Amino acid sequence: MPELPEVEVTRRGIAPHVEGHQVSGVVLRRSGLRWPFPPDLPSLLAGRVIRSTGRRGKYLLLHFDHGTLIIHLGMSGHLRMLPHGQVPQKHDHVDLELPDQVMRFTDPRRFGAVLWHPSEDGDVGQHLLLRSLGVEPLGRDDLAQLLHRGTRKRSAAIKQVLLAGDIVVGVGNIYACESLFEAGIHPNTAAKRISLARYAKLAAAIQRVLSAAIAQGGSSLRDFIGADGASGYFQQSYFVYDREAEPCRQCGAPVRRIVQGQRSTFYCGRCQR
């Protein structure tokens, strides 16, 4: 599933191809994915210029003068830039046609979304899907304070609080496991019992883990953009994630797996307290 790093790498990959370019047409090959597409999207966007790209959590944003196109990659979606004339395949649902190339949205499992937020409805951050999202984790100096302050009444396990995304976005299952390992925090610890000093370690770990994933994805940008359709959801070498019973890379103890909220959590019982 594309997580924040994949979405950010996708944004960086398409940005130079779409920013400042005029949309010449929109092709919708079905009526919607997770939700219906705006049926008037072709007339809304034809002739309009994509001013800039953005991202909020896992939502990719294409800003126009008259509104913002919101794209979510769902469970399996990806965007590619292709030359004109490439025959669409079964799971190619949306094309945004530009003068020189096509931005094609492919989504085999169809959990993705393409939505329109008109500028007369105000800032896109106030869109129903975006307004209750937590803060962006990258480039924030106050992440530890936000986590500490936001959890004083939260008895839930810190892993669950991270996944909930209402304090900080983008810390999905893999990155929650890895960040908690780096910070030495047991995933079952009640969020409200974690000190500010430990949240400082966690905040730094979250930022380091996500930045590393983006950097790694950046090196495979061509896979996202290439016409061959190889999609690059990056495999990294994890400390604990998906390593049940394998030796902890730090202390050698076997990595453990527990289930929290129906998701697997991987951790080291010796390094994480």
**Closer of 194 and 248 to Zn ion (Cβ):** 248
| d(C-alpha 236, C-alpha 222), whole Å | 17
- Buried-exposed string 21-56: b where 16+ CB fall within 10 A, e elsewhere: bebbebebeeebbbeebbeebeebbeeeebeebebb
CB 131 within 8 Å of CB 96:
no
Least distance in angstroms from the C-beta of 189 to Zn ion: 16
Q: Which of 86, 220, 250, 260 binds Zn ion (CB under 5 A)?
A: 250
- Catalytic (active site) residue 263: yes
**Closer of 103 and 185 to Zn ion (Cβ):** 185
Using the contact rule CB under 5 A, the part of the chain among 21-29, 134-142, 150-158, 247-255 near Zn ion is: 247-255
Residue 163 sits at the vertex; the CA angle it makes with 245 and 171, to the nearest 5 degrees, is: 85
* Number of H-type helices and E-type strands within the chain: 7, 10
270 interacts with Zn ion by CB under 5 A: yes
The dihedral over CA atoms of 68, 41, 79, 108, expressed in degrees to the nearest 10, equals 130
Q: At what angle do helices 196-218 and 173-183 cross, to 10 degrees?
A: 130
- Catalytic (active site) residue 58: yes
- Chain-centroid distance of CA 226 in Å reads 20
Does residue 79 sit in helix, strand or coil? strand
CB 217 within 8 Å of CB 5:
yes
| d(C-alpha 253, C-alpha 147), whole Å | 29
- Which residue bears the tokens 């049940």? 244
**Closer of 154 and 186 to Zn ion (Cβ):** 186
**Closer of 189 and 250 to Zn ion (Cβ):** 250
268 interacts with Zn ion by CB under 5 A: yes
Using the contact rule CB under 5 A, the part of the chain among 86-94, 112-120, 230-238, 242-250 near Zn ion is: 242-250
- Catalytic (active site) residue 2: yes
Using the contact rule CB under 5 A, the part of the chain among 56-64, 187-195, 211-219, 263-271 near Zn ion is: 263-271
**Closer of 97 and 178 to Zn ion (Cβ):** 178
The single residue of 2, 5, 38, 137 carrying the catalytic annotation is 2
- Catalytic (active site) residue 3: yes
Q: Which of 251, 261, 264, 273 binds Zn ion (CB under 5 A)?
A: 251
| d(C-alpha 105, C-alpha 114), whole Å | 9
Least distance in angstroms from the C-beta of 217 to Zn ion: 27
The single residue of 55, 56, 58, 80 carrying the catalytic annotation is 58
271 interacts with Zn ion by CB under 5 A: yes
Q: Which residues have a catalytic role annotated?
A: 2-3, 58, 263
Binding site for Zn ion (CB under 5 A): 248, 250-251, 253, 268, 270-271
